[in-house]
Structure 1
């Protein structure tokens, strides 16, 4: 990662779902073909709902996920299933996570963050099939979250940091406090890999 510049971190104002939607619209509307990696969970679906009536050229976009649970597409825990349901008819191309596969750089990576500071499926404690470089690796969080007790596939740190830009979308006072601890020098959380040191610029979208 020595070819990367020092990370610059900006807090978006405002940082709500509408602001995130505008950032995604800008990325989709940029010239040429774009590669965007979406976080999982319910937030992207809410943001995409705000964009459904806008005439965006999704046909010029390849969409991947930062991580996913190892479940069938029609399982309620499948991030791919949710994103495909929202954008499958948009004309966008979809790139599945395949363990060990090399990953081309993204124009924009959208990260979420857990209460434990994990991003994608890079947890503070995990069993992982370590894959060097910009690839996809298999991980199992320790302990398994009771709300999602599944093995995962995730982009590695180098794959995520090869992006031109990263947005980190979080809600709640406790997550804001965690981010502020990391920015003040606490490197004990996985999100610190993206907020400190070298890497692409990060814009934090925070709302209550």
Structure 2
């Protein structure tokens, strides 16, 4: 794995949803079995809508989530429910998050980022279980966000870095400014740990 290689950061051009869709399509179309970790939120659903008419063989892909809220699949806050609704009939295999589970390496990890610099469910302030090695851990953000006041399951930093590459998909001027601060070493933000130091290459897809 690339875990002990100095991290490199590239800004994609263009950085819009169509460019992200092209990147996902390239990974899915590569020969052999693939493992992809999907971020939550609305962006993956928009990207998957752009891919629905492409002749992609999802049967060679195992899909995991970078994180999820501890809610039933049919709850509006369920990341698994959204991704499964979009790809459940595609032939892809799905790997659920289970607290304490060890995690196999990925071909691609797709991250988003919050306004506070959190990635997956690794927040600037949180309670969390510590697990050795690449694993699924339980976390609770502090404070609980009002729009999603739920405990979480998330891949830990080692699991998120156990991949050939990371794509980081963000929108908005304020997040671009935060990323620039993180790249220059502002360690208040969890995202900084993926943009500096050691880890797989990161491609940033940014759009307004």
Coarse TM-score class (shorter-chain normalised): over 0.9
Equivalent residues, number: 208
Q: Residues 1-208 of structure 1: matches in 2 within 5 Å?
A: 4-208=4-208
Alignment partners' CA distance in 1, 2:198 and 2:185:
14
Residues 58-110 of structure 1 show CA distances to partners (whole Å, capped at 9, x for unaligned) of 00000000000000000000000000000000000000000000000000000
Root mean square deviation of aligned Cα: 1.1
Q: What 5-or-longer segments of structure 2 have no aligned partner?
A: none
Q: Is the 8 A contact 2:66 2:120 kept in 1?
A: yes
TM normalised by structure 1 equals: 0.98
Residue 141 of structure 1: how far off its partner (Å) = 0.3
Residues 137-179 of structure 1 show CA distances to partners (whole Å, capped at 9, x for unaligned) of 0000000000000000000000010110000000000000000
Residue 2 of structure 1: how far off its partner (Å) = 9.3
SS at match of 2:71: coil
Alignment partners' CA distance in 2, 1:3 and 1:169:
21
Alignment partners' CA distance in 1, 2:9 and 2:3:
18
Q: Which moved more, 1:125-134 or 1:11-20?
A: 125-134
Residue 132 of structure 1: how far off its partner (Å) = 1.8
TM normalised by structure 2 equals: 0.98
Runs of 4+ aligned structure 1 residues displaced above 6 Å come to none
